[in-house]
Amino acid sequence: MNANASASRMETRPASLRILFLSAEVFPYAKTGGLADVAGSLPKAIRRLGHDIRIVMPRYGFIEIDRWRLKKVIDALSVPFGEGSEIAIIYEARLDDVPVYMVDNARFFDRDGIYAYPDDAERFIFFSRAALELAKALNWQPHIVHCNDWHTGLVPNWLKTIYKDDPFWKQTRTVFTVHNLAYQGVYGHRILEVAGLAHHGFIAHPQLAHWDHVVHFMGRGLIYADFITTVSPRYAREILTPEFGAGLDPILRDRADTLVGILNGIDVEEWNPATDSYIPRRYDVASLEARAENRRALLADVGLPEESEGPVLGFIGRLTEQKGIDLLVQVAEDAARYLDARFVILGTGEERWQSMIEAVAEKHPEHVRAVFTFNNPLAHLIYAGVDILLMPSRFEPCGLNQMIAMRYGAVPLVREVGGLADTVQDFDPRTGEGNGFSFKEYKAQALYTALVRAAENWKHRGVWRTLQERGMTTDFSWSRSARQYIEVYYRALNTSGEIPERLREKLAFLPGATEATKTP
């Protein structure tokens, strides 16, 4: 259908949408980072606006059936897989009013962790395909399948190929949300057979020569989805450039008119200093001084001295290249020495960053303490106890920590990228405007300069209190962003369901895996 014909159609705008929401992690059941927070809170907000949204996730081995009172809803769902099929058991939990279907299959999901297994491609193909088969088995026809990150990237591909003529899926449109472009899911040709896509072949693109004989999960999501979103307006612009596009910017530029940046919210019930059961002293903006008790508890908990001249700094996050750990480590040294700041670092991840952090902590035992576990209660205590939360990220699609920090009266210090730039405005002492501190260049000096400014302003109790109050009274809830997602759902629903012409012209669909493997 051409553009004119689709424009002249009556717009479809059902008052209540049916949305199937797929995520590899959902808080509180399984979490490694921000994706889980989003998947555990956005659907609740969409439900509150009157739409029938249902989540599907894997049931990993560590999600206990009794603890979460999972109800078995399907004994044996047959899921096409490779040449044959595999069986899924489907459980159901409830997140407030939102049904959460969990796909169980011992071979794929009975593991201690979520990712980084050699068969991740097979695992997430199975999960995504099971989600589609589940909708069919329930005879629940979604208007929208909302896919999140590379794990679900083949869903839009399937709906436009192998399910294309299936009447059940005829009206369904897909929305693909990029939470982090750095994780792409790139696999060899054999995976096309596992996915049942061998006959539809490889995809070649003139600016992506390295795609030959490679199956790119996120790339396929970006090509086939009817609409694409990402988690902040700034990141939506950044990823159109080679600097932030992680090799996918040529596709994203061709899809720019169907790419929307929607800022993440946070779960303001989960993250609420007035009701938080993990912290010794609850408080709100009117009782900010009570926060000092949490600060003391934090320092005692990690074993740092209570008395010192400087502020208490915090970092929480995955220890990866992205998070700017190299800057953090360089600055920790100076902060200890010249600012007498105490620094609490909580994170899990790559060994090399861990040992770098460990080295500074050993050198400055009175100032730097690191905890290398995934520890949600300690994270709560850090937000409630530190004066300044640092996020010197190389890139940051949205970032939730800075918003959680502000809600807890900790002042964020961030690098001016992605969602950090959209949520934190550098404090300007001349105008009194701003809600935190930020720096531009990815350099330790730039971070340190901002930290000195923050530490100076921290001494001015009145100024500091204003910054804290500003953060604590900002609306970080999902209500606004949830409405923006619903608008995207309607826009997606009213697309033709074809790959945009501009992109299609550039793509070549090469012979399938079976033929390709025969070529020398």
Contacts of 148 (CB under 8 A, 6+ apart): 21, 22, 23, 24, 35, 38, 39, 176, 177, 179
Q: CA-CA distance, 329 to 357, in Å (whole number)? A: 6
Looking at beta carbons only, is 169 or 235 nearer to ligand ADP?
235
Q: CA-CA distance, 191 to 473, in Å (whole number)? A: 49
CB of 241 to ligand ADP, least distance (A): 20
Looking at beta carbons only, is 149 or 254 nearer to ligand ADP?
149
Told to check if 445 binds ligand ADP by CB under 6 A, we report: no
CB of 51 to ligand ADP, least distance (A): 24
Max intra-chain CA distance, the chain: 73
Strand ranges, E, within 272-381: 312-316, 342-346, 368-371
Query: Binding string to ligand ADP for residues 290 to 329, with x set by CB under 6 A, is what?
Result: --------------------------xxx-----------
Told to check if 348 binds ligand ADP by CB under 6 A, we report: yes
Residue from 375, 466, 484, 496 touching ligand ADP (CB under 6 A): that is: 375
CB of 35 to ligand ADP, least distance (A): 6
At 352, the amino acid letter reads R
CB of 156 to ligand ADP, least distance (A): 22
Told to check if 120 binds ligand ADP by CB under 6 A, we report: no
Closest to 91 in 3D by CA, of 68, 117, 119: 68
> Tokens 């750990």, residue?
325
Q: CA-CA distance, 75 to 73, in Å (whole number)? A: 7
Looking at beta carbons only, is 272 or 375 nearer to ligand ADP?
375
Contact 212, 160 (CB under 8 A): no
The secondary structure element, H or E, covering residue 363 is helix 351-363
Contact 158, 129 (CB under 8 A): yes
Q: Judged by CB under 6 A, which stretch of 15-23, 133-141, 159-167, 392-400 contacts ligand ADP?
A: 392-400
Number of chain residues interacting with ligand ADP (CB under 6 A): 18
Looking at beta carbons only, is 375 or 517 nearer to ligand ADP?
375
Q: What is the CB neighbour count within 10 angstroms for residue 245?
A: 16
CB of 315 to ligand ADP, least distance (A): 9
Looking at beta carbons only, is 211 or 374 nearer to ligand ADP?
374
Told to check if 346 binds ligand ADP by CB under 6 A, we report: yes
Q: CA-CA distance, 187 to 119, in Å (whole number)? A: 10
Told to check if 181 binds ligand ADP by CB under 6 A, we report: no
Residue from 400, 417, 455, 493 touching ligand ADP (CB under 6 A): that is: 400
Residues making contact with ligand ADP (CB under 6 A): 33-35, 37, 316-318, 346-348, 374-376, 379, 398-401
